[in-house]
Amino acid sequence: MIDREMKVGLMGNPNVGKSTVFNALTGMKQHTGNWPGKTVEGAVGQVVHNNIIINLYDLPGTYSLLSHSKEEEVTRDFICNEKYDAIVVVCDAVCLERNLNLALQIIGVTSNVILCVNLIDEARKKKIEIDFDKLSELLNVPVIPICGKTKEGLDELLEKLSSIENVSETKSKDEIEKLISPNIATSYIKRAEYICKKSLIFRERDYNKKDRKIDKILTNKITGIPIMILMLGIIFWITIKAANYPSEVLFSFFENIGKKLYIAFEKRGVNQWITGFLLRRRVQGFNLGYICYVATNGNIFPAVYAIRRFRGATKNCV
Ligand SMILES: Nc1nc2c(ncn2[C@@H]2O[C@H](COP(=O)(O)OP(=O)(O)OP(=O)(O)O)[C@@H](O)[C@H]2O)c(=O)[nH]1
Ligand SMILES: [Mg+2]
């Protein structure tokens, strides 16, 4: 028996695992992947817990409520225009400080906010310890550690959501814009820094030393541009030159098959018209060239090369 329905928005920075959590809770198959900006329109799914239907909205990732890109507006409009019961802010445990900026903005403009600190498995690997009680105390909202991949903590989230009884109170669009003015936005950044200082312990400060070193080299003005040119050069070389080697192998493979088939057809006295249709120069060149094209995964350069070479070679063959 269903007692009531709830409407809950999943919000957070891009690529923090919102859709992974959404899929884990609703059983749906929203697009996930390790790059930002996958969810652009949002999706709705349902989960039933304690006789309550929870309508969950997977919203596009956003860095701030004042962002103006189309997908970020979807998220802001949800807060401004919809009547909902709660907002679940999903954060990445590995870069909590950066994520808290948006969390603080949301907490500042609406009520019934729950903070989910996702990717705790990654934080554990990087020896980042989070005092979740302290975090909850400083933010003044419930904080739940979760792992979207293994579904750890999701039952606790559902339990917390189903205990919410009153509808969320939200500020209007104008009030939100006033509340997140540049001055206040700066204060959120400082507050996020303070909160993380109080509730996070990095047991291994150098956990990303190698990544930082690589970043430094790749993003440096002096080394970055030559590396980019070198990589582009390698890609061109692979496309134009190196791809010829597998093409040649493919070409001689099909050439041999073509020759053998032609001889076999002739020996068996197969109708000239059929042999011609299947194996004669132009037809054969097209058919086998097309097979080469498919076999090279649609890479046009080796395919064109194979067709050209194959046509040339069949002049001697037929
Ligand atoms: N290790 C680990 N990876 C996770 C976890 N949750 C999500 N991921 C991975 O993080 C990546 C991003 O997840 P998404 O669910 O696509 O993130 P999102 O917040 O919906 O991203 P956008 O829609 O682009 O804003 C994916 O590769 C997920 O597999 C987790 O708890 N642990
Ligand atoms: Mg998503």
DSSP class per residue in 180-238: T-HHHHHHHHHHHHHHHHHHEEESSTTTTHHHHHHHHHHH-HHHHHHHHHHHHHHHHHI
Our measurement of the distance from residue 297's CA atom to the centroid of its chain's CA atoms, rounded to an integer in Å, reads 24
Rounded to whole angstroms, the Cα distance separating 133 from 144 reads 9
pTM for this model (two decimals): 0.73
Ligand 1 lined by 108 (C-beta under 6 Å): no
Cα of 118 vs centre of ligand 2, distance in Å, is 13
pLDDT (average), residues 40-52: 91
The alpha carbon torsion through 178, 181, 184, 186 (nearest 10 deg) reads 170
Tens of pLDDT, residue by residue over 88-134, are 999 999 999 999 999 999 999 999 999 999 999 999 998 899 999 99
Ligand 1 atom nearest to 120, measured from its CA = 31
Tens of pLDDT, residue by residue over 262-279, are 888 888 888 878 877 777
- The predicted pLDDT at position 31 comes to 79
More confident residue, 297 or 224: 224
- The predicted pLDDT at position 297 comes to 53
> Does one domain contain both 174 and 266?
no
- The predicted pLDDT at position 240 comes to 87
CATH number of 34's domain: 3.40.50.300
pLDDT (average), residues 43-66: 93
Helix (H, G, I), strand (E, B), or coil: what is residue 140?
A: coil
- The predicted pLDDT at position 312 comes to 54
Ligand 1 atom nearest to 36, measured from its CA = 24
> Does one domain contain both 198 and 90?
yes
Position 223 in a domain: no
Position 214 in a domain: no
Last residue of a domain, one of 137, 172, 202: 202
Position 238 in a domain: no
Percentage of the chain exceeding pLDDT 90? 51
- The predicted pLDDT at position 37 comes to 74
- The predicted pLDDT at position 315 comes to 47
Which residues constitute the domain of residue 287? 243-317
Tens of pLDDT, residue by residue over 66-85, are 877 888 888 888 998 889 99
> Does one domain contain both 181 and 263?
no
> Does one domain contain both 174 and 280?
no
Tens of pLDDT, residue by residue over 146-194, are 999 999 999 999 999 999 998 888 888 788 877 777 778 788 999 999 9
pLDDT averaged over every residue in the chain? 85
> Does one domain contain both 45 and 150?
yes
Residues 170 and 80: beta-carbon distance below 8 Å: yes
Q: Return the axis-axis angle of helices 281-295 and 244-267, rounded to nearest 10°.
A: 140
> Which segments of the chain does DSSP mark as H helices, in order?
18-26, 70-81, 96-109, 120-125, 132-139, 154-162, 173-179, 182-199, 209-219, 221-237, 244-267, 272-279, 281-295, 300-317
Residues with Cβ within 8 Å of 289's Cβ and at least 6 positions away in sequence, in order, are 303, 306, 307, 310, 311
> Which segments of 17-69 does DSSP mark as H helices, in order?
18-26
CA-closest residue to ligand 1 atom 7: 17
CA-closest residue to ligand 1 atom 29: 33
Position 134 in a domain: yes
Position 217 in a domain: no
Total count of domains within the chain: 2
Ligand 1 atom nearest to 37, measured from its CA = 24
- The predicted pLDDT at position 217 comes to 94
Position 232 in a domain: no
Cα of 15 vs centre of ligand 1, distance in Å, is 5
